[in-house]
Amino acid sequence: MLPLRELQSRFAAVAAGRLLAEQAFAGTNAIVEDAPGASARLAIHVHHFRLTLIEALGATFPVVRRLVGDAFFTAAARRYVLSQPPQRPCLFEYGDGFPAFLASLPEAGSLGYLADLARLEWAINRARHAVDVPSLDAAAAAAQIEAPSCDLFIGLDPSCRLVKSAWPVDRIWQVHQQGDDEIAAVDLEAGGVQLFIHRQDGEVGWLKLDAAAFAFIGSLLADGRLGKANALARAIAPSFNAPALLESLFEGGVVASVTAIN
């Protein structure tokens, strides 16, 4: 008799394609051989595992799916599901590694922007489901920023994400919100974008940033200290205007906290 833990491990190995059902349960007599047999019955669960997770990835990466077509998407997603199965039950959190996985596929090499587009869709997905935090009293926080007596820690809303690409992935994403007959051409030579993605009043949107603003927000997300973010941005563009950008962040409701660093 298989201990439950061992039985469950073998079941998972079959689902992930690491073992055939015959190998996993050979000689164990664990599963009753009702016709059509234990392997065919296990296959129902294996099929469900793969199919539903491929569907979940398709829901999170709809533009990637349209770009590559259903057949390629299904094959790629299937390989991803087997190599990086979900670790948690909330499927809106599944797919973190899918952009990098796409980038590693030689077959996807002809679509240079594909992995970046997947990064954008992942950022949109994370922004959409990011935890709610209480909104900040913007007036009080603005006053603190206008007269800083010391360095400040700026906490951004958990929905905030940055995506940088050498391709116009924002335009590619936008034209694929239309039906098949209405997809406009995108000039791939138009150059790259640096996008700041966030959620405001339930809606996910983005701002296009220049290099200095991108570095500024990236530093705030990584570190939080206003002085350091400012210095990084000014090193890129000496004319960088932190107060103006901060004001637009406040207006966008994406500043979650302002704390004095003593």
Nearest approach, Cβ of residue 36 and other proteins (Å): 4
Q: Residues 166-203, buried b or exposed e (16+ Cβ, 10 A)? A: ebbbbbbbeebeeeeeeeeebeeeeeebbbbbbbeeee
Q: What angle do CA 189, 191, 195 make, to 5 degrees?
A: 140
Helix, strand, or coil (residue 100)? helix
Residue closer to other proteins (CB basis): 10 or 119: 10
Residues of this chain that bind other proteins (CB under 8 A): 1-5, 7-9, 11-12, 15-16, 29-32, 34-38, 40-42, 44-45, 48-49, 52-53, 56, 85-93, 128-133, 158-159, 199, 202
Nearest approach, Cβ of residue 34 and other proteins (Å): 6
Nearest approach, Cβ of residue 44 and other proteins (Å): 5
Residue closer to other proteins (CB basis): 3 or 106: 3
Alpha carbons 68 and 121: distance in angstroms, whole number: 14
Number of residues assigned to the chain? 262
Nearest approach, Cβ of residue 194 and other proteins (Å): 24
Residue closer to other proteins (CB basis): 29 or 178: 29
Residue closer to other proteins (CB basis): 28 or 178: 28
Residue closer to other proteins (CB basis): 128 or 164: 128
Nearest approach, Cβ of residue 236 and other proteins (Å): 32
Q: Are 221 and 196 in contact (CB under 8 A)?
A: no
Q: Is 5 exposed, middle or buried (0-12, 13-18, 19+ CB in 10 A)?
A: exposed
